[in-house]
Amino acid sequence: MERILEVKDLAIDFATYAGTVHAIRHVDFHLDKGETLAIVGESGSGKSVTMRTVMGLLANNARVVSGSVKLAGEDILHKSEKALNQMRGNEVAMIFQDPMTSLDPTMPIGKQVAEPLLLHTKATRAHAMKEAARVLALVGIPDAQARLKDYPHQFSGGQRQRIVIAIAIINHPKLLIADEPTTALDVTVQAQIVHLLKDIQAKLDTAIIFITHDLGVVAGIADRVAVMYAGKIIEYGTVDEIFYNPMHPYTWGLLEAMPTLSATRKRLFAIPGTPPDLLTPPQGDAFAPRNPYAMKIDQEQEPPFFAVSKTHAAATWLLHPDAPAVDPPAEIKRRKQIWAQKEGNHDYR
């Protein structure tokens, strides 16, 4: 399998008036051709900062402390701004959360979709506009040719998101980063956009990183999931492993907070407390103050990753051989029972 992206030991600080914020703290992950990786976590967990690093779009007050970000084998952290400009929209493209802030309200959408092709190739304007119409039709814009001269305000929210996707894919990038692309959309349109991304992936064989705080969306698009908290990845695995055999208490909280038809609570669950201040990252496990299963060691030492399977690992002391057995929440036990039945293993801890 061709490795498209490999991030190793990535650490990023931000200089602020209050001091240095340790926003990304030694993150590792990879992505192969044609694969979809979902990165999930609360706001402020570091998801978008990590992906902006992959795009070479870090703010001026950001500093890469350590690590490498290799796109198709080349470390982009050492590329010049000219090389990064050539890379963006050509090898890697990003779909942002709000299409209205991504699209220029004063420019017809045909020109906006064609622009990456004109910037990165020797295409003529006529060819670029022809390609723009083809790609707009591919993403599901009706009468695409006739609508090239229309402006963003003449489209619905779902259609505007499809236009943003068209801009991202017109140059057939190796990597497509979707930064919460369904957040501003209703549930029906969310499902349509997720289906569209999977369809595009199948046709173009591109790799996708899907950033979200909504685990419900993840189930329909991801092959693997990485859970982020306080600037670190704290659990990763296949989508089934994360949904049905989660091991980190933070992942338990995210899953409990999902509305489900099987839920017995009258009110939605919310993880108590707030994420830590990364001006002074806490000693030990950053999730310990919000973790009802925290032990003394959680206050003192940061947990390493413990392997659950060849594809699944979690950074929690609960997986240490000497850790006491705990009783997970009812919703997590229900999911683990489904996993145990599926795997033919009735010893679900």
Yes or no: say if 202 and 218 are a contact pair by the CB < 8 Å rule: no
Which sequence spans correspond to the domains of the chain? 3-222, 226-343
What Cα–Cα distance (Å) separates residue 242 from each residue in 61, 93, 263, 327, 343? 35, 27, 18, 18, 14
Which CATH superfamily groups domain 226-343?
Answer: P-loop containing nucleotide triphosphate hydrolases (3.40.50.300)
Token reading at 174: 């190796």
Do the first three CATH levels of 3-222 and 226-343 match, i.e. the same topology?
Answer: yes
Tokens in use for 126?
């006529």
Q: Which amino acid is at 66?
A: S
1.10.3860.10, 3.40.50.300, 3.40.50.720, 3.40.50.150: CATH of 3-222? 3.40.50.300
pLDDT (tens place) for every residue of the chain, 349 residues total: 789 999 999 999 999 999 999 999 999 999 999 999 999 999 889 999 999 999 989 889 999 999 999 998 999 998 998 899 889 888 999 988 777 788 999 999 999 999 999 988 888 999 999 999 999 999 999 999 999 999 999 999 889 999 999 999 999 999 999 988 877 677 888 888 888 999 999 888 899 999 988 888 888 889 999 999 999 999 999 999 999 999 999 999 999 988 766 656 667 788 999 999 999 999 999 999 999 999 999 999 999 999 999 999 999 999 999 999 999 998 999 999 999 888 776 454 4
- Separation in Å, CA 256 to CA 43, 261, 317, 328: 17, 12, 21, 11
Can you tell me the distance from the alpha carbon of 207 to that of 196, in angstroms, rounded to the nearest whole number? Answer: 14
Here the tokens at position 1 are 């399998």
Residue 278 corresponds to which tokens in the numbers above? 């990364």
- Using DSSP's 3-state secondary structure scheme, residue 62 falls into strand
What does pTM read for this prediction? 0.91
Residue 169: which of 137, 212, 147 has the closest Cα? 137
